[in-house]
Amino acid sequence: MEVIEYLQLSEGIPHVRIDLYNVNGKIYFGEITFFHGAGLGRFTPEEWNEKFGDLIRLPNK
């Protein structure tokens, strides 16, 4: 697959990280991560948790 094809895996997902690796010119897929730090990270100060959360727009069903 080409890089753009891997990145298309994120279509429709409001926040995701796709890990790709370039090894000797060949692109390898690593993982798709929906929550950094397994979702266990803390914001300091705490009010930034809500400020960043307010920036994510989830799709309406």
Global pTM? Answer: 0.64
- DSSP-derived 3-state class of residue 59: coil
pLDDT tens, position by position, 28-45: 999 999 887 777 888 899
Average pLDDT over residues 13-39: 89
In angstroms, rounded to a whole number, what is the distance separating the alpha carbons of residues 14 and 16?
Answer: 7
